[in-house]
Chains A and B, each alone.
Chain A
Amino acid sequence: MRLVVTVNGTNHEVDAPPSASLLSVLRDDLGLTGTRFGCGSGQCGACFVIADGRAVASCLMPARQAADRDITTIEGLAKGETLHPVQAAFIAEDAMQCGYCTSGMIVSAAALLARDAAPDEATIRDALAGNLCRCGVYGRAIRAVRRAGAP
């Protein structure tokens, strides 16, 4: 099935099976492997991307549904060599260990800050509750999002 998806501001034409998820198109057709596979059922957040301003699980979104949305992945957050404030804050707080869940966390945080520039801690916890981290960097990640959202 041929379709056109708009990812990080660029239109891409791909040929993928009708059953393909947006995650599989990103990783296998566009080479955007920064969005990770975690569970395939939208329960862990490792595959989150921003679709029309909201953080969503790309593993659950059929690629054909993504075709009429504006998709931003972890690779699209930095502007050239200038990191998105959330990315810079995650480095400053060393808010990562293995890093596998980090893309999804940063995507959720970037979507949050786009609608609420200075969220309080409870809002951050709620907004990132769909992002599981097994290494246990939650405390650092909360500090990083607060830092990125600070005026």
Chain B
Amino acid sequence: MNLQERIRIEPDGSVTAFSGKIEFGQGIRTAFAQLVANELDVPVERVRVVMGDTGQVPFDFGTFGSHSVEQEAPALRRAAAFARHVLIDRAATRLGIPATRLDARDGVVADGDGTGLGYGDLVLDAPLKGEVPEDVALLPPARWRHIGQPLARVEARDIVTGRARYTADIRLDGMARGAIARPPARGARATRVDDRAARAMPGVVAVVHDGDVVGVVAERDEQARAAADALDIDWETPRREERATQVVPLREDGGTDAALASAKLVLSATYTLPSIANASIGPSAAVVDVRPDGATVYAGTHRPFGLRDAVAGRVGLPQESVRVMPQMSSGTYGRSSAPDVSVEAAVLSKYARRPVLLQWSRAEEFAFSPSRPEAVLEVTAGLDASGQILAWRYDEHTNVHTAAGPDPRAAAMTSGRNAVPPYVIPSAHVVLHVEPTPLRTANFRSLAAAENVFAIESFVDELAHASHQDPLAFRLRHTSDTRLRRVMERVAEASGYGKKLPERRGRGFACTRYHGTYLAQVAEVEVSPAGAVRVLHVWCVIDPGLVINPDGVRNQVEGGIQQSASWTLLEELRHREGRVATTSWDTYPIATFRDAPESIEVLVEGEASAPSTGVGEPGAVPTPAAIANALFAACGARVREVPLTRERVRKAMPTGGV
């Protein structure tokens, strides 16, 4: 790693840091600024973080898996620490004072007597550069001023005043608007486009038909949409290629069937989760300016370098001539791993010879975006006479979970994420079946972990009840990992686990280990006699290793819990004949202010000696099971199918409803 790729000291003494990661509201711009400010001992406001601009930052594969802090924090910290050493060395030479007598504080390298030079003065002749050594000495904790301090988002003032500029807010000279003509069924191709009526409409700049992109460019958004609607198109739906199911063994200890046969108690259950939408509040948008010698792409994306290559390939430009400048984006929770909207805007721009802003409609966003696939989880376990798990058999049936498609090398860690339980089990047989689907499925927060943990943590609850054990004690007796045990015990304490509750209320427990982050949750719900479930309180203890911004962690985890509660109680993307049938907020409702729990209490208790790990996704992972387990505790209804609708709950009630 070269210092100049990561950190630049500006002549005014401010610091610019470079990262290939992307800010979507996870707060990593703030966390990165805190880290760099910490090592260089400058105020956080003096650090600017350039993120994802392919013309300025080192290559990065993409922002997903809640890996940003885990992967980037050590690199940025080391680079900033090395910059500090180089600044001190330069000052030593310039001042004729041994480096050991100098210290870098508050933007100045000085000795104890006040002789010193500002960081800016030290780079006037030559910018900092050099290979960052692996073993560069980091600032000792006693000197930390920013790591571990809660800090509001650096973008906060721009956001609350409306000054923040998202992709669709970009206005370039000569910029026109695009709209795409959508087929009646996804994957259909236009065989004939009659554009006579559209071309005569006001404001129309170009009508484009290039491969799978059919659209209009006009001066204004309304004009582009009206003209796209006026295109007369014949569509043909190609026959779909049949793909085989991929079968991926995730854990095969052997002897599972024999162990099950010898068990004192054997229980089986099947859990089902529907396809759900990422459902970003701002539909996908891109501004692309394609010129004969290169292109500039302004978009929200999880993969700026992947997007660069996709656009370059589609419009026939060399990759190096395309620059992707990531913009603030509505949270998409994985959806913008796909390059689609930028590729469409690029094709429109190429023909219009103007920069084009394309923003999908709400209906397009629901109907044509990738979504989280369905999952069916079949599980069987056997307990011995003491109530200990002897054997565990688990079959996960789902579809592709990433924009990368059916890559067999990635299946286990994407579609199979968290399918192997974190418990001590002598013999387990866990198999992933990635089945083909006519639906467009891809990345959504935590990939398959939310599905698998719903099944595992619901089933563990069922095993505990079936063997007359307390669900928390049952989990603890099967947990050897001390960090997992600790978050379980702490959330039990924090929530007052075991407290007597009023009628029709119940509490449920769930936990997970997700990419090195540990968390445990307790949900409290109230169930109406008609089967309506309301989440009243959620407690969560999270251990993500060394914590950089505790309030940033809390905000992410609260949001993950809130979003996951919405998935669990309300959401299902319905399809009919390969088309999405729920294309608006009234047919695809999500949680509103009225549904928000009375409290979501997140306790951030990171193990400071462990590396920092992610917090964006894991908060959402245990919540569905915590809610379903709370529902069972409240009224005895075990619902194994999400969403937990009134009808399902009523049917599952032991009395058959009231």
| A interface residue numbers (CB < 8 A to B) | 17, 19-21, 24, 27-28, 31-41, 43-44, 46, 73-75, 77-78, 83, 87-88, 90-92, 94, 96-103, 106, 124-126, 128-142
Inter-chain pairs besides A94-B555, A99-B25, A134-B281, 8 sampled, C-beta below 8 Å: A33-B165, A33-B166, A37-B283, A43-B585, A88-B160, A96-B156, A100-B329, A139-B562
A83, B559: Cβ atoms closer than 8 Å = no
**How distant is the Cα of A22 from the Cα of B298 in the complex, in angstroms?**
25
* Residue in A33, A128, A139 with the greatest tally of chain B CB atoms within 10 Å: A139
**How distant is the Cα of A57 from the Cα of B591 in the complex, in angstroms?**
19
**How distant is the Cα of A74 from the Cα of B597 in the complex, in angstroms?**
27
Cβ–Cβ < 8 Å partners of B226 in chain A = 19
Q: Please, which residue of chain A has its CB at the minimum distance from the CB of B555? A: A94
Q: Is B27 an interface residue (CB 8 A)?
A: yes
B559, A141: Cβ atoms closer than 8 Å = no
Q: List 17 A-B contacts (CB under 8 A).
A: A17-B220, A39-B362, A75-B161, A77-B161, A97-B27, A97-B331, A99-B159, A100-B166, A100-B281, A100-B330, A125-B594, A129-B594, A134-B330, A136-B559, A136-B591, A140-B558, A141-B593
Given the contacts A41-B362, A134-B333, A134-B590, A96 and B596 also touching, CB distance less than 8 Å: no
**How distant is the Cα of A24 from the Cα of B279 in the complex, in angstroms?**
22
Given the contacts A98-B24, A102-B159, A132 and B585 also touching, CB distance less than 8 Å: yes
CB distance from B540 to the nearest CB of A (A): 13
Given the contacts A17-B223, A24-B221, A98-B331, A87 and B161 also touching, CB distance less than 8 Å: yes
CB distance from B569 to the nearest CB of A (A): 13
A98, B330: Cβ atoms closer than 8 Å = yes
Cβ–Cβ < 8 Å partners of B202 in chain A = 17
**How distant is the Cα of A46 from the Cα of B280 in the complex, in angstroms?**
12
**How distant is the Cα of A27 from the Cα of B168 in the complex, in angstroms?**
10
Q: Is B163 an interface residue (CB 8 A)?
A: yes
B362, A134: Cβ atoms closer than 8 Å = no
CB distance from A64 to the nearest CB of B (A): 14
Q: Is B164 an interface residue (CB 8 A)?
A: yes
Q: Please, which residue of chain A has its CB at the minimum distance from the CB of B564? A: A136
Cβ–Cβ < 8 Å partners of A96 in chain B = 25, 153, 156, 159-160
Q: Is B157 an interface residue (CB 8 A)?
A: yes
Q: Is B62 an interface residue (CB 8 A)?
A: no
A135, B331: Cβ atoms closer than 8 Å = yes
How many chain B residues have a CB neighbour from A under 8 Å? 63
- Tally inter-chain residue pairs, CB-CB below 8 A: 181
Cβ–Cβ < 8 Å partners of A20 in chain B = 220, 222
CB distance from A114 to the nearest CB of B (A): 17
Q: Which of B275-327 contact A (CB under 8 A)?
A: 279-283
Secondary structure call for the B interface: loop
Cβ–Cβ < 8 Å partners of A130 in chain B = 592
Given the contacts A24-B221, A33-B169, A96-B153, A102 and B593 also touching, CB distance less than 8 Å: no
**How distant is the Cα of A151 from the Cα of B155 in the complex, in angstroms?**
28
Cβ–Cβ < 8 Å partners of A17 in chain B = 202-203, 220, 222-223
CB distance from B390 to the nearest CB of A (A): 39
* Residue in A31, A36, A39, A87 with the greatest tally of chain B CB atoms within 10 Å: A39
Q: Please, which residue of chain A has its CB at the minimum distance from the CB of B601? A: A139
Q: Is B26 an interface residue (CB 8 A)?
A: yes
Q: Please, which residue of chain B has its CB at the minimum distance from the CB of A98? A: B25
**How distant is the Cα of A21 from the Cα of B584 in the complex, in angstroms?**
19
A83, B281: Cβ atoms closer than 8 Å = no
B560, A136: Cβ atoms closer than 8 Å = yes
**How distant is the Cα of A37 from the Cα of B596 in the complex, in angstroms?**
24
Given the contacts A38-B281, A129-B593, A83 and B161 also touching, CB distance less than 8 Å: yes
Given the contacts A17-B222, A37-B283, A129-B594, A136 and B164 also touching, CB distance less than 8 Å: no
Q: Is B469 an interface residue (CB 8 A)?
A: no
Cβ–Cβ < 8 Å partners of B24 in chain A = 98
**How distant is the Cα of A129 from the Cα of B202 in the complex, in angstroms?**
38
Cβ–Cβ < 8 Å partners of A43 in chain B = 362, 584-586
A138, B331: Cβ atoms closer than 8 Å = no
Q: Is B152 an interface residue (CB 8 A)?
A: yes
Given the contacts A87-B160, A91-B160, A96-B160, A38 and B328 also touching, CB distance less than 8 Å: no
